[in-house]
Structure 1
Amino acid sequence: MSNTPILQLQEASIFQREHLVLSDVNVEIYHGQFVYLIGQTGSGKSSLLKTLYGDLPLKSGVGNICGHDLKSLKDKDIPFLRRKMGIVFQDFQLLTDRTVSDNLLFVLKATGWKDKKKMEAKINEVLEKVGMATKGFKMPYQLSGGEQQRVAIARALLNDPELILADEPTGNLDPGTSEEIMILLKQISENGRAILMATHDYSLILKFPNQTLKCEDGKVFMAVQSSL
């Protein structure tokens, strides 16, 4: 594990427009680390993640992620930041009018890939990693929820990200499928990628224990399992 954090916040304040959501946030996450982010609805989890991927500005404090300074991040820099991270959402956000492979091809083209053979090889590689190698020709509606989330994770891996931000990735899945997705994310983390996963499913945290950050009363602090 590298001594340099892939994500570092120091005395950061997280705002949703003019509303202060979290204050004095101090977080460090390193390569290969898997960290949960928990807290009640409205506690600031999504606002924190949105700040990390450039959807909300960091107005005060220090923030560095994947080599980018969040405080000085310009709109034109956001695509470059997002190429260094993968983002996985609760509702998959797949394009419903194109196949699994074409969903992934769309992302590669949008992030500057040009070589057709390299794009094809990369799509095959990430689908293989998530156990979807034979499903590239299918449309999203032909897949189960778990399969759609596997495709969303494959999409997040396309540009070999140093960090994956996962916002309630098992929120729309049944318990058995949720466990399958957790095993997949765990394998990805063990291969050296950092993962920050927001979740409200404490049963998964108990089954797959990792360091846990909790948003509560406008603060972020380290939680121990007995206090979840």
Structure 2
Amino acid sequence: MPNTIVELRDVAIYQRESLVLSEINLDINKGEFVYLIGKTGSGKSSFMKTLYGDLPLTQGSGTVTDFDLRALKEKDIPFLRRKLGIVFQDFNLLPDRTINDNLLFVLKATGWKDKEEMDAKIEEVLGRVGMKTKGFKFPHQLSGGEQQRVAIARALLNDPELILADEPTGNLDPQTSVEVMKVLQEINRNGRTILMATHDYALLLKFPSKTLKCDGSKVFEVVQKNV
């Protein structure tokens, strides 16, 4: 099925020898916005890491953007990640260079060569998150919310099929969290598939969407009112 971005069947996820999650069966389809919720330590990050190739899949079968996770070799991981946009809680911006140079660094690292094309792409993604005028600034000159917008822009650089956002509002105050969520919602409306791990239930109520829950070593879909 061409519209399935993530497909997991009978998957178990391990951190070294210890079982974190088991019997995972789920699909994420193109264009969906999906929350991943659960207590700290319930396996949300391990789940995310498996999808972007940081934890090897050793049990069950899984595909992410047509990559077979069971057959994924070390050398394939950069190509998988080019189809993904990953947004972390703590922004992960390089402090010693401007926002434009942060984004330029990613483009060069993923094989872009043409300076004009790179500049145009950087302007485009910053425009999409409302940060077009801030490219010359350094990360420490931006607020937390602005840094997270830049991190989202960075995730868009290679036109990803799937954005994995791991607690993207975890370090932000409630008002800023809502602003960042609106940016993610807009990106989703433009056709990007998003999986967002969060423990911010206020956002789920404000922006209801399909919700997966990690609990008791399982991952299952929940109806919003049972969250």
Which shows bigger deviation, 154-163 or 185-194?
Answer: 185-194
Paired residue type of 2:57:
L
The residue number in structure 1 matching 2:100 is: 101
| Partner Cα distance (1:183, 1:30) in 2 | 21
Residues 59-116 of structure 1, C-alpha deviation per residue, up to 9 Å, x if partnerless? 0111000110000000000000000000000000000000000000000000000001
Question: 1 CA distance for matches of 2:187 and 2:88?
Answer: 16
CA separation of 1:199/1:99 partners in 2, compared to 1, >3 Å: closer, same or farther?
Answer: same
Mapping for residues 136-155 of structure 1, pairs under 5 Å:
136-155=135-154
Q: Which residue does 2:91 correspond to in 1?
A: 92
Asked if 2 retains the 8 angstrom alpha-carbon contact of 1:34 and 1:211, the reply is: yes
* Residue ranges of structure 2 left out of the alignment (5+ in a row): none
Is the partner of 1:220 in helix, strand or coil? strand
TM-score by length of 2: 0.99
Structure 2: distance between partners of 1:54 and 1:141 = 30
Distance 2:18 2:159 in 1: 35
3-state SS of 1:6 partner: strand
- Is 1:213–1:220's contact at 8 Å kept on the other side of the alignment? yes
Shift of 1:164: 0.1
Say yes or no: does 1:166 pair with 2:165: yes
> Partner amino acid for 1:159?
N
Shift in Å, 1:162: 0.5
Q: For the residues of structure 1 that align with 2:6 and 2:192, how far apart are their CA atoms?
A: 12
| 2:42 is aligned with 1:43 | yes
Identity over aligned pairs, percent: 70
SS at 1:9 equivalent: strand
Query: Does structure 2 conserve the Cα–Cα contact (< 8 Å) formed by 1:3 and 1:30?
Result: no
Q: CA deviation at 1:4?
A: 2.5
Q: Is 1:80–2:56 an aligned residue pair?
A: no
